[in-house]
Structures are given as C-alpha cells and as structure tokens.
Amino acid sequence: MEASVCIAQKGTVEDIAGHRITVRVHRETACGQCNARSMCNLSDIEERIIETSDYSNNFRIGDDVRIAITAGMGNRAVLLGYLLPFVLLVTVLISLNALGFQEWVSGLFSLVMLGAYYFILYLFRNRLKKSFTFTISKIV
C-alpha cells in the first residue's frame, strides 16, 4: 500500500457499467466484532456505495477489492465538509453580534448561511465528484 493513501477499505464489486465500477463497502465498528452485539442495540454496521472509474477491465462483479483515497483528497474533503462551514458559522455569528444584532437573530442567520453553504456544495456535487477519485485494486 502506498504511503500517500489516507483511507483504504475492503469492498465488493456490485456493478460494472462501462468504465464505471460500483463498490459496496462494509464498515463495522468494534461492536461488529463483539459476541454480544445481538443483545445490544449499539451495533453500528454501515454500508456505503462508492463509484469509481477503471479502464483496465480486470474487475468482475463479486470481486473483493480494496478502494482507497489519497491523503490530500481526504484533507480536502475534511476542509470542505467540516472546517470551512465551522469558520463560516462562527464568523457570521461573531460579526452579527458585533454589529449589534440580537443573539437569536445572529444564531438564526448563521444557521441559514450554513444551510446555504451546504446547498451550494450540493449544487456542485458533480464537479466535486470528478475531483475526488478513488483507486481500486483487487485483493489477492
């Protein structure tokens, strides 16, 4: 595995359409390994569907694969998804309070701005999808 890989997870090829490969990634927390998980409602098993491109034609439906993203892309995702919205929220909140607005107005407007930020991200999802590329490799 490369040193620049940030996240690598195992998955199963679900669908192949041209050069587009759909991989189902099964993620389990520590609860997934516990023998008492059927008695406990805290088990957290999550499945994700990830789409990637591959031009080698080496993959078949049902193959076990490893799917990875580089550290730089992972950091960019954290920046866009968590850090920038937090800075926006705090900046708007403090600015409006400093301008003399009531706290509830400042808080409400901050939340509206946060919603607008995530809506803009949603509008640009296809462009962002192109910039976040996953690498795929077979598990031997």
Q: Which residue has the tokens 């795929």?
A: 136
- Kind and range of the H or E run holding 87: helix 84-98
- Kind and range of the H or E run holding 117: helix 103-123
Averaged pLDDT score across all residues of the chain: 83
- The pLDDT tens digits of the residues spanning 88-118 come to 999 999 999 999 999 999 999 999 999 999 9
Listed in sequence order, the residues at least 6 apart from 49 whose beta carbon sits closer than 8 Å to its beta carbon are 14, 22, 23, 24, 25
Concatenate the DSSP letters of all residues of 34-59 into one string. -TTTTT-TT--EEEEEEEEE-SS---
